[in-house]
Amino acid sequence: MGLIKNIRDAVKKEVRDYIFQMVEVEKDIEKKPEQPVSENVTNIEVKAAGPAPEVEEKPVVKEEKVQPEKKEEVEEVREKPRKKEIYPIANNLEFVRVSYKKNQDLITIPKELAELIKMLPLEEYACFVKLYCFALEQRKNYGYWGGTLKRRIGLDQLTTSEFEELGNNLAAYGLLLLEQLTENQKTFVLYVPFDEDTMVKLSTAKKPEKEPEKPAAKKAEKPAPKAAKPKPEPKEEPETQHEEDIPGKMVEGMENDEMYKSYKTFVSLEIDKAKMRVGRANFDKIYMEAVKYIDKKYGFKVLSDSDKFKEYLTNYYISAFDIPTFENWKKSKG
Amino acid sequence: MLQDIKILMKSLSDIDVRIMLCKSAFEWELLAKKYNALRDEIEAFCSSGLPEDVQTALEKTRAYLVEKKGELPPLDLSDFFK
């Protein structure tokens, strides 16, 4: 009996101590309401002995699991508007590459432009205004699109893909023109209303048209060489009658023409034969003359455009080695 | 303005040096693209008209490039006829 009484007293004492501790903890919580709940729970765990910790650990774990889910939900909500289809806010704007005559003291946005850009979403609006200020600062409204530009207009915090997306969105809204020069290089032309007093017109940039699909193999061989011509010079345009004679130049509807394919093979063989005939040294001299001739007649930009250069070089060889033109060759074939 | 045109002219003389060291058609094409871009930049910079010495320097570099292209091995046209 004495033993049972001692045990009962000990249990009572334990329970009383535990209740006192609980009361103290509750008082602490009331004194510090801003303290996070999880900390209080940890305090209870430390102070309370016995079975209590096992029961009270669960809410902490639950809280940790719930938080990331909530974050994901918030992110999803933020991302949703980006997936919307973009409709241009202005059609048929003329994209002119301009240079500003002098540094501007004031950054002024013409009213018509301000009316247009106020329809842009916040991020695109900010990007456009930053680009506009940058254009005035560098005194031209075009340049390379990429990391350097991102840094220079103060959008460092954006990732490359986010910046790309902003550019594409602005292009979709019709206020920016992006041109893919090579696989990694892009240029942009920012829309600015042309003002004769402050600007000089350099060239008009054309919007990229949807080209008919070419065979994949051909695309791989020629990685967008023609896009690398931001400023076409009209005086350097080749004459039409020469173009017809160029064997490498596809005439519409001729791509599958067996006759034309045979002619191309014929020209290739004739050039090889001529190379053998005149010898390596002379052929090199003829090539040098061809380069000088093409530069003089069609301009330097043709020389630096490998596809066009090949066309004109072939044309030159046809003249230099007396190879029949396509029409003459076809007639001779009957 | 003087400082800026000096930087552009320095880039042009850098191209001149690299033309001398150029040994392949690929390198040449890169230099030609650089020259075209630089020319555009200079023309944009001197929008009121190119000074005579700048014009001469541009033409000289262009002539170097043309000469170099002629000196490089003739372009292989075999893939062009495929």
* Domain boundaries of chain B, sorted by first residue: 24-71
A170 closest CA partner among A178, A179, A160: A178
Query: Tell me: the pLDDT tens digits for A194-219?
Result: 888 888 877 777 766 544 444 433 33
Alpha carbon distance A104, A106 (integer Å): 5
Q: What sign does the CA torsion over B32, B34, B37, B42 have? A: negative
Instruction: Determine contact, residues A169/A86, Cβ cutoff 8 Å.
Output: yes
Q: B66 to chain A: which residues are within 8 Å by CB?
A: 291-292, 295, 300, 303
Is this structure's pTM higher than 0.80? no
Residue A32 gets the label, from left (phi > 0), alpha (psi -120 to 50) or beta, of: beta
In a shared domain, residues A100 and A66: no
Query: Tell me: the pLDDT tens digits for A262-313?
Result: 888 888 888 888 888 888 888 888 999 999 999 888 888 888 888 888 888 9
The fraction of chain A above a pLDDT of 70, given in percent, is 67
Alpha carbon distance A130, A121 (integer Å): 14
Q: Which domain does A279 fall in, by range?
A: 237-333
In angstroms, what separates the C-alpha of A283 from chain B's closest C-alpha? 8
Residues 6+ apart with CB under 8 A from A69: none
Residue A138 gets the label, from left (phi > 0), alpha (psi -120 to 50) or beta, of: alpha
- A268–B78 C-beta distance less than 8 A: yes
- Joined together, the tokens standing for residue A203 give 């060239």
**The predicted structure's pLDDT at residue A76:** 52
In a shared domain, residues A191 and A260: no
In a shared domain, residues A115 and A223: yes
Cα A189 to chain centroid distance, Å, stands at: 13
More confident residue, A246 or B15: B15
Minimal Cβ distance to B44: which of A140, A271, A287? A140
Rounded to the nearest 5°, which phi and psi values hold at A100? -80, 140
In angstroms, what separates the C-alpha of A273 from chain B's closest C-alpha? 13
Alpha carbon distance A278, A283 (integer Å): 6
Query: Tell me: the pLDDT tens digits for A147-172?
Result: 888 888 888 888 888 898 899 899 88
Q: Which of A272, A291, A308 best probes binding to B when mutated, by most B CB atoms within 10 angstroms?
A: A291
**The predicted structure's pLDDT at residue A253:** 46
Determine the residue type at B10.
K
Question: What CATH number does the domain containing A194 carry?
Answer: 1.10.10
Q: Which residues of chain B have pLDDT under 70?
A: 1-3, 79, 81-82
B24 closest CA partner among B79, B76, B78, B77: B76
Residues 6+ apart with CB under 8 A from A6: none
In a shared domain, residues A100 and A150: yes
ipTM: 0.86
Provide the number of structural domains found in chain A.
3
In a shared domain, residues A6 and A121: no
Q: Does a structural domain hold residue A274?
A: yes
Q: A310 to chain B: which residues are within 8 Å by CB?
A: 75, 77, 80
Query: Tell me: the pLDDT tens digits for A93-106?
Result: 788 888 887 777 78
Mean pLDDT comparison of A1-15, A37-51, A304-318, highest-scoring range = A304-318
Cα B58 to Cα A14, A24, A143, A202, A306, distances in angstroms: 97, 87, 21, 18, 21
In a shared domain, residues A116 and A194: yes
> CA end-to-end span of chain A, whole Å?
132
In angstroms, what separates the C-alpha of B17 from chain A's closest C-alpha? 18
What residues pair up with A145 in beta bridges, in sequence order? A186
3-class secondary structure, A323 = coil
**The predicted structure's pLDDT at residue B14:** 93
- A301–B78 C-beta distance less than 8 A: no
3-class secondary structure, A322 = coil
Alpha carbon distance A4, A10 (integer Å): 10
Q: Does a structural domain hold residue A89?
A: no
Q: Does a structural domain hold residue A87?
A: no
Instruction: Determine contact, residues A332/A309, Cβ cutoff 8 Å.
Output: no
